[in-house]
Structure 1
């Protein structure tokens, strides 16, 4: 019975499947198609150049054994690289596909002897010309669970992070979306999960990347017409941590490619961890199909640390830096810097630096001077209650009237202004703003913000309201 390309390849696959992990087989061998068998050379079709390079780098030995068993010592393997060309690249490829099947596809035939050629891997984190197959995690080891102190404000997110680190891809927290305001520890927690996974599962490929850098890499891949290589690179990651995912807002191409990467990782039991400065429901200009996937797992919010947590953060920072500080100064700092952890740590560093450089003891007067200096240059965060009071006083009404169900025009406008400034000056979610300003939903807040923007550009008197209130709230 004469051998066909399909029969030879199916026999090879049966052997390969018995000798590698089911996950590796599913990722790297199921997508391959047998094309032809000519003069003891088997041609197989792979979806991208990156795919071919990965096979050569990691599976050339088993391919050689499998094919030699079927075709003997003179066996040869030919890769046909066939990939979508959606960006109009006019560079000619060696066409090896019958014209009836071409459509918008291109192919390139690579005749590869069965020995490891060690081709250069298309890793977007590697500087061109420098060979480095290993995928570095891009993690900061200083951002770990030990230095991420638990408190009421972060207990859910931290506990979920620990669960994911213990069993990446194996919990219902996939994806894990950590959201909250600036300086509350989102990036720290993302790194901590990755660092813990690397410690527990050194064989797993963990990668941290900012959404901004991911976008830059994607744009570069489009320019160089290796979009498929870019996708396949990210599809081999076991744990993908993307920081500031909200920065994909409005970037349709990047959202599309991330959608395909996310689907592949999720379907294959890989772990995805995302951070954002807002909850999924408040993300604007993110495709609905992506938002729905962000909600598949757990969304955990980081809130402002309470007093006890702030004290613990200060003491932990001092301990790590080997510095002693009187208890009354610790309490003073915790009482006076409430906005976020980054500012708190910045003030501690400034205090230690002043004490060290000027060879002075850390006193309450020095602490007061540093805090006054530091907080003075920091945008103070105002509360939603304060905003409602300022707006109500400005329009000479009480807060209850502002929050009431009445549809009187001047009250509605005052309420809309309160919502607008709450979104502008606080880190609260739209749902939280609506709840605090008269039990409205997030859609009402979104409508209010758009109305204020529109009226500001068309109504001179209304623009004066916005300017006056803005000054009062930033004094």
Structure 2
């Protein structure tokens, strides 16, 4: 009865599309004195509700039942168990309470769900080694990348695997800001001895995210540098993430920078188009969304940076398709892409070269290589020709993208132009590719 009344209140408070999409699928399994247990379709659904609508649901539950109850979401037949008072965080089996400090782990941020490509294979391999408590890559792993390329996915994956296979490991997983705030609180309360003991003596693995946010915080850097030194000397493992390489960090003490560089330093680059398409297909599968290959390719072509934007696009497509009885067309895909990344983005050499590489079934490395094999030279020449035709880049700019000088680009343009005039099949191929570029 409480859930039915809560649903009525939510129906009035939310738009009909939001209610139908996110509230109606929830099923009430049990009402307790302190909590109401709801079943959701899948883990992603639960994560999205937790992030966007949980507070509203709990507020309506309280208004309906005249007492405060927590709302717990889960999937399948087993009920969730919470860690202490931390809302929604799962207690891992056989882990003593307060043994580890960690951010709430995303259920799908595992190694199995991580799409590996040339851009991230070293970082993924290193994290797998660290998760198995293997010290072959050194005591400290430093990962840097732009936002949304998978740093947090990998650190969550390490935590998942460590707790699954070595549940007694004392893992401290915090952001740099959380570490700084905790240190300040302990200084103010004069409990720094307990703070130091927690991290120095009761820690087997330390993970600190976003180390670049400590710019100018000299005291925190000194404390963390001392901690890293103590852990490394006692054979413990450390993973640090940042948005740039150690040498590029501004406002970071040189000794601290050196300490973080004592092991493997690896970066994650933006994924190539084939990896992006696999990411799109994987995200769609997670949301039970069937996408034609043309649509997944279109999304991969246009959503090129932050992988979270792929998730946002898939969610939007799924929501829109529910309103059209599952029907999806290219106009819907274009509309979603425009909402996610904007419209009117200029064509780039990278976009064209990636398309050509895929059409000729060669890699970007092969396209940019010094090889003179016809299998690589003809696609390379076509790519240069089309880059000149569809972008505003200079011959020198196009040449740099292919590790060539401007004279090579000019030669390629003349070569393809002459071939297209003499050979109708080449002309048809070039026109077909040009049409694909215009539809990007």
Q: What TM-score do you get using the length of structure 1 for normalisation? A: 0.52
After superposition, give the CA deviation of every residue in 1:118-164 in whole Å (9 maximum; x if it has no partner): xxxxxxx989xxx9544353333421101111111101100111111
8 Å CA contact 1:191–1:208 kept in 2: the answer is no
8 Å CA contact 2:317–2:332 kept in 1: the answer is yes
Match of 1:160 among 126, 134, 149: 126
8 Å CA contact 2:316–2:336 kept in 1: the answer is yes
Match of 2:186 among 221, 233, 237: 221
Match of 2:266 among 300, 303, 309: 300
8 Å CA contact 1:144–1:188 kept in 2: the answer is yes
Aligned mates of 2:336, 2:199 — CA distance in 1? 45
Name the counterpart of 1:372: 338
The structure number with the bigger radius of gyration is: 1
After superposition, give the CA deviation of every residue in 1:261-305 in whole Å (9 maximum; x if it has no partner): 111111111110011000001001111111001111011110001
Q: What TM-score do you get using the length of structure 2 for normalisation? A: 0.56
Pair 1:172–1:132, CA change in 2 (3 A) = closer
Alignment of 1:241 with 2:207, yes or no, is yes
Aligned mates of 1:341, 1:179 — CA distance in 2? 15
Pair 1:382–1:249, CA change in 2 (3 A) = farther
Aligned mates of 2:218, 2:348 — CA distance in 1? 34
Aligned mates of 2:272, 2:188 — CA distance in 1? 48
CA RMSD across the alignment:
3.5
Pair 1:162–1:346, CA change in 2 (3 A) = same
Name the counterpart of 1:333: 299
| Residue 229 of structure 1, CA deviation | 1.4
Aligned mates of 1:258, 1:377 — CA distance in 2? 44
Aligned mates of 1:361, 1:225 — CA distance in 2? 62
Name the counterpart of 1:37: none
Aligned mates of 2:336, 2:322 — CA distance in 1? 14
Name the counterpart of 2:224: 258
Name the counterpart of 2:144: 179
SS, match of residue 362 in structure 1? coil
Gaps of 5+ in 1: 1-124, 385-397, 402-434, 437-475
| Residue 381 of structure 1, CA deviation | 12
Q: Aligned pairs, how many?
A: 269
Pair 1:295–1:136, CA change in 2 (3 A) = closer
Name the counterpart of 2:61: none
1:66-465 matches, within 5 Å, as 133-138=98-103, 139-168=105-134, 170-235=135-200, 236-376=202-342
Aligned mates of 1:221, 1:162 — CA distance in 2? 34
Aligned mates of 2:126, 2:348 — CA distance in 1? 30
Pair 1:400–1:336, CA change in 2 (3 A) = closer
| Residue 171 of structure 1, CA deviation | 2.3
| Residue 400 of structure 1, CA deviation | 6.9
Aligned mates of 2:124, 2:171 — CA distance in 1? 19
SS, match of residue 187 in structure 1? helix
SS, match of residue 258 in structure 1? helix
Pair 1:329–1:383, CA change in 2 (3 A) = closer
SS, match of residue 209 in structure 1? strand
After the TM superposition, which parts of structure 1 deviate over 2 Å for at least 4 consecutive aligned residues?
A: 131-142, 170-174, 357-360, 377-384, 398-401
8 Å CA contact 1:164–1:173 kept in 2: the answer is no
Pair 1:328–1:178, CA change in 2 (3 A) = same
Name the counterpart of 1:82: none
Gaps of 5+ in 2: 1-83, 87-95, 351-393, 398-402, 405-440
